[in-house]
Amino acid sequence: MKLSNIFYSHTGRNSGKWKHYFDYYDRHLGRFVGKQFTLLEIGTCYGGSLQIWKKYFGPGVKIIGIDIDPRTKFEEPQIYTEIGSQSDPEFLMSIINKYGTPDVVIDDGSHIQNDVMSSFVNLYPRLNDGGVYVIEDTHTALWSGYNGGIKNPNNFVEIASRFAMDVNREFAEEHYVTSIPDLKEICFYNSMIFIEKQKTPKAEPCYVGTKPY
């Protein structure tokens, strides 16, 4: 079932998403449906999204939500929540130690650019091979109130755009220092970024047909 159908039929805790997010989630996370894996979501608000992920992925998913607001604390089968800051490396590592390394991380937290970067730096390296790191509401990278702006060096969209070069790192003729050596794919959408982690072999050309001369 599509994520949008599950979202609009949800009657549990409150949740809110931009309408165009659903197709992107189906495209990048649909392969996890019915599988056993761990999902970590930063920013739980009322907890509805955690319940929706459980319905979407099925009984094999373990869901951990983290938030700085103590009022967001709740648990139910498959869902665990912890209170702490996404910019606190020690707190994030305590989550990894307690629940294991995640396969999917969704950052729907403060959206402040420094926090987005801090979470990424601390959590992406712990993401399992084949995992996906998602950042929501990246339009905040354009807003000064979130320490963003077109020319702001903290603008995470601008920083992440440099990672795209890592996908083609093996073809660099000049000296090139890779930011993310295990980056398989990075996709930019309206207000979202999906980053897929996987150790991939070098590209190999292949040919078919007969030379005409």
Q: Catalytic positions, please?
A: 111
In angstroms, the CA 50 to CA 65 distance is 7
Tokens for 122? 């601390």
* Residue 95: HSE in the Cβ half-sphere, 13 Å Cα cutoff: 31
Beta 192-197 vs 37-42: how paired, if at all?
Answer: unpaired
Range list of H helices, the chain: 3-8, 21-29, 48-57, 89-99, 113-123, 156-167
Segment (H or E) for 135: strand 132-136
Contact at 8 Å (CB) between 79 and 65? yes
For residue 206, give Cα distances in angstroms to 88, 203, 209.
Answer: 47, 10, 11
Segment (H or E) for 186: strand 183-189
In angstroms, the CA 183 to CA 197 distance is 5
CA 156 from chain centre, in angstroms, equals 13
